[in-house]
Chain A
Amino acid sequence: MGVTAGESSAQEAMLDVRVWHGAEHGEFRHYQVPRRDSQTVLDVVTYIQRHLDPALSYRFACRVGMCGSCAMTVNGVARWTCRSHVDQVTADGRLEIAPLAHLPVVRDLVTDMRPFFDKWARAKGRFQGATTRSDPVARVPPDTPERRAVDAAIECIGCGVCYAACDVVGWRPEYLGPAALNRAWTLVNDVRDVSRLERLRAVAAEGGCLSCHSHTSCSERCPKKIAPTAGISGLKRACARAALGGEL
């Protein structure tokens, strides 16, 4: 029988949890959290806030891997905390929970996502069509190479895990990052979009797709199993063709 929240017993297994407190400067604080069956990292953070440290700041919404708001650095790896079970991320009962890397920290585990989404805008991540609501709906055959490329990349929910996992973002703060480039790739392949060249110019510029080292950390860490590295490689090829053709 499980132990109710806030209670603990001498026999109960405990997790040794270190949680970041502060903003850019701060410290890790230690907590002892009761171990539960099927416990997620988000459950651990929630337990700390509800029972041990009400001032702890963190962000979450759906708790089921749909909203992408609860991403944090858990034992050095960026991941969704709601879909990360404790036994997947620690073998010895120790957890270190920090905010996502490469983003300004607002407080504790909350990061400021503005730089991340500003780069989506810089990469021209907004669909630009040429038709109006009065025109017929475009028919896009599902088996075309362009549509397949879009299908492989379209499920991104903007959680920032790939951005935090990317070495190049750490080295070059102006680098657009995997998520923004992945979004650009979906639009480059969208046959309805009319801003292709403008978008290629945006992603070929300094800090764009050509800065990617293909380390594939983004593809390795993406909780949606998207491979931004593949899309970025596609963008590199598209930019190279456009440059050779004199279009860029």
Chain B
Amino acid sequence: MTPARRDALLWLAQRWSAAVLALCLAVHLAVIIYAVRGGLTAAEILGRTRGNAPLAVFYGLFVVAVSIHAPLGLRAILSEWTLWRGRSQAWAMAALAVLLFGLGLRAVWAVVQ
């Protein structure tokens, strides 16, 4: 793959993940506002989330979008504000993507299992 094609596809991935994040955040905030009416406890939250497959899919998608979007955004910031570029930066951002993905899925699993 040429560097130009790689950069263009990464740019598209960041745009598409941003669109998914915008939708996920809107739903997330709306559900929070709806759910906390009259107070909310951890037991109530877990009562709704445990065994809830649609919720697992929704937050799984959220985690995937974050894992794509955040490292690509950080890559752009690092390239603009520091001298860190190139292969080492790319590997570090890939590691960050894996870390975010792992931690995110672990959090989702913790509330739906």
Interface residues, chain A, with chain B CB atoms under 8 Å away: 168, 171-172, 200-202, 204-206, 208, 210-211, 236, 239-240, 242-244, 246, 248
CB of B32 within 8 A of chain A?
Answer: no
Is A205 in contact with B3, judged by CB distance below 8 angstroms? yes
CA distance A242 to B80 in the complex (A): 26
Closest 10 A/B residue pairs (Cβ): A243-B8, A248-B5, A204-B4, A171-B80, A201-B4, A210-B11, A239-B8, A204-B8, A205-B4, A248-B4
CB of B12 within 8 A of chain A?
Answer: yes
| Contact residues in A for B3 (Cβ distance below 8 Å) | 205-206
Shortest CB distance A247–B (Å): 8
Shortest CB distance A216–B (Å): 18
Size category of the binding interface on chain B: 10 to 19
Interface of chain B, main secondary structure = helix
- In the complex, residue of chain B having the shortest beta-carbon distance to the beta carbon of A248: B5
| Contact residues in A for B8 (Cβ distance below 8 Å) | 204, 210, 239-240, 242-243, 248
| Contact residues in B for A201 (Cβ distance below 8 Å) | 2, 4
| 7 residue pairs A–B, Cβ–Cβ below 8 Å | A172-B79, A200-B4, A205-B4, A206-B7, A210-B7, A239-B8, A243-B4
CB of B46 within 8 A of chain A?
Answer: no
Additional 13 contacts, C-beta under 8 A, given A201-B2, A248-B8? A171-B80, A202-B4, A204-B8, A205-B4, A205-B7, A208-B7, A210-B7, A211-B76, A239-B11, A243-B4, A243-B5, A246-B5, A248-B5
Interface centre among B3, B5, B11, B80 (most CB of A within 10 A): B5
| Contact residues in B for A168 (Cβ distance below 8 Å) | 80
Is A243 in contact with B80, judged by CB distance below 8 angstroms? no
Shortest CB distance A16–B (Å): 36
CA distance A211 to B12 in the complex (A): 12
CA distance A131 to B70 in the complex (A): 48
CA distance A248 to B9 in the complex (A): 10
Interface of chain A, main secondary structure = helix
| Residues 1 to 33 of chain B near chain A (Cβ within 8 Å) | 2-5, 7-9, 11-12
CB of B81 within 8 A of chain A?
Answer: yes
CA distance A242 to B8 in the complex (A): 9
Given contacts A239-B8, A242-B8, contact A171 B2 (CB under 8 A): no
Is A244 in contact with B12, judged by CB distance below 8 angstroms? yes
| Contact residues in A for B2 (Cβ distance below 8 Å) | 201, 248
- In the complex, residue of chain B having the shortest beta-carbon distance to the beta carbon of A236: B11
CA distance A206 to B8 in the complex (A): 10
| Residues 43 to 69 of chain B near chain A (Cβ within 8 Å) | none
Shortest CB distance A242–B (Å): 7
| Contact residues in B for A243 (Cβ distance below 8 Å) | 4-5, 8-9, 12
Is B4 in contact with A239, judged by CB distance below 8 angstroms? yes
Interface centre among B3, B4, B76, B81 (most CB of A within 10 A): B4
- In the complex, residue of chain B having the shortest beta-carbon distance to the beta carbon of A242: B8
Shortest CB distance A241–B (Å): 9
| Contact residues in B for A239 (Cβ distance below 8 Å) | 4, 8, 11
| Contact residues in A for B11 (Cβ distance below 8 Å) | 210, 236, 239-240
Shortest CB distance B11–A (Å): 4
CA distance A202 to B8 in the complex (A): 12
Interface centre among A171, A204, A236, A242 (most CB of B within 10 A): A204
Interface centre among A168, A200, A208, A239 (most CB of B within 10 A): A239
